[in-house]
Amino acid sequence: MEARAEFRYLRIPDRKIRVVMELVKGKKIDVAMNALKFTNKRGCDIVSKLLKSAIANITAKQGVDIEKLYVKTAFANQGPSFKKLHARAMGRGGVIKRKFCHASIIVSDEFKENVKKGKTKIEAAKETVKQNVKEAKVKIAKEEKTKK
């Protein structure tokens, strides 16, 4: 079972919230709350409030044990920008953008580790090199047989 909490139109840029979201993503609730409590970032209060809301949502749905919960995903998307002009030299105007964002957290009680399926780039490269070496050895063996 999972629950979602979402804040929309936050008056903070998405890149500043994403730094804090990466701290809590994939961690248990108590570890995530402690990390937010002792991190000195502007978005920590917002993310902790969002996390508490997600916990309240999942406990309202079903009687779930809070100790088994973990943060499944946490992300922040860019929202609209508030633009205003600031007076500059020679009668020009400079644009000041106040960026907004939309933040979401999904909390779940089913802990599943993300297992990579397939191969990494390094493993695939090593395998192709081994295959090329085998093919080269076969070609060399054939050439030696034809010379004799």
Q: With 70 as the cut, is the pLDDT of residue 114 above it? A: no
pTM equals 0.70
Beta bridge partners of 96: 84
Q: With 90 as the cut, is the pLDDT of residue 48 above it? A: yes
SS3 (DSSP) at 49:
helix
Angle at 100 between CA 97 and CA 104, to 5 degrees: 160
Residue 119: pLDDT band (50, 70, 90) is low
Q: Average pLDDT in the 62-76 region?
A: 87
How far apart CA 50 and CA 88 sit, in angstroms, is 39
How far apart CA 68 and CA 30 sit, in angstroms, is 10
CATH number belonging to the domain at 2-115, selected among 3.40.50.150, 2.60.40.1120, 3.40.50.360, 3.90.470.10: 3.90.470.10
* Residue linked to tokens 């978005």: 43
Residue 17: pLDDT band (50, 70, 90) is very high
CB 48 within 8 A of CB 33: yes
Give the containing element (helix H, strand E) for 61.
helix 44-61
* Residue linked to tokens 């979602």: 4
Structural domain boundaries in the chain: 2-115, 116-148
User: Which strands make up the sheet holding 93-108, listed edge to edge?
Assistant: 2-10, 93-108, 70-87
Q: Average pLDDT in the 65-71 region?
A: 88
Per-residue model confidence as pLDDT tens digits over 23-32: 999 899 999 9
Question: Per the structure block, which two tokens stand in for 58?
Answer: 């999942």
What pLDDT shows up at residue 115?
Answer: 40
